[in-house]
Chains A and B, each alone.
Chain A
C-alpha cells in the first residue's frame, strides 16, 4: 500500500462513523490515487453505459410508443396491454415455462448422474468424458434439423418408434404437445453434457479428506452424498442451473429450426412481431423488453442465491 492511500485511510478513520457512508464515498474521490483510478476506468464506464444501459433504457422508452408507417403516438402501457390480451403471447409464455422447467430439470438430474459416474476412476474415463461431450459440440441449428428429421412422419426413426409403441397417434410434428416434448428431448440430449461438465468440475475440487472424515464418523455412502457432496457442490449447481435456465428461457434457434417456425417461445414470438409484422413492431418491442426483464430477474435470483450460499460454504 502506498503512502498516499495510507494518508487517505487515516483521514477516513479520523472522521469517525458520523455520516460514514457519505464520508467514505467522498473519501474515494479525495484520495488522489483512487481518483486517478476512477479517471482511468471512466472511459470504460462510459462505453458500458453507452452500449449496454443506454440502448436498453431507450428500448424500454420506445415500448411506450405505438409506431406505424404514418406516425407514432405515445401510448403509455398500451403495448403491454395488447400483449397481455393476446392469446398467442400466453401460448408462447406457457411453452417457454414448460420447456424451461422440463428441460432444465431433466438436464440437471441426468447431468448430476453422469458427473458422479465420470468422477469415479475407471478404465477409459478420459474417452468416456470425451464421448459424453459430443452432443454439446453440435451447433443448435444443426441438431435441431437432425432431430426434426428423426421426428418427421416419412423417414423419422422416432416417429416410427412412437407409432409402434402407440405413444403418439399421428405425426409428432403435427401435434402441438408432442412437438414441445420433442423439443425438450432434443435439448436434453444436447445440453446435458454441458451440465455434467460443470458439475464434474465442481466435484473435482471437493477435497478427499472431507469424505475420509465422514467415513470415520460412520456416514453411509448416501449420507456422504447428501451431507457432504451436495452442500459442497452447491456453487457449481447454481452456476449450471443459472446458465441453463437463462438459455432455456430465451430459447429461439432450437424452436425455429426443429419445428420449422411452428412452435412459439417468447423469443420466437418477439421475432415474428418485430421482424415480420409491420403493425405489431411496437408490441414486439414490448415483448422484447419483457423477455429481457424476465431474464434479468432470473439472473438476479440465481446470483442472490449463489452469493449467499457461496459464503455459507
Chain B
C-alpha cells in the first residue's frame, strides 16, 4: 500500500458514537449505524489509507482519525438533464 507524505491535504474519519452509544431519541434505522465525523486537513505524519493518523485543519487545529481520502475534492454538479423542466416558461407551453 502506498504511503501518503506528511503535508498532503487529506480527509480523516472518526467514529464519534457507536450504535450502542447513540442518543435515545434517534429513530430505529439511525440507531443501527455509528455516528461518524469527517474533517479535512494537512497530514502531520506519513500515513497509509485506513491508518489512524493526525491532521492539522485549515484553522490550525490538530485532530486524529482514520485516513480515508487523499486530496479530497468536490465533484458535485448540475446533475443529469431533467427534460421535464426544459420547456417551462417557453413558448412550448402555455402558462
Question: Are both chains from one complex?
Answer: no
Q: Which residues of B contact A (CB under 8 A)?
A: none
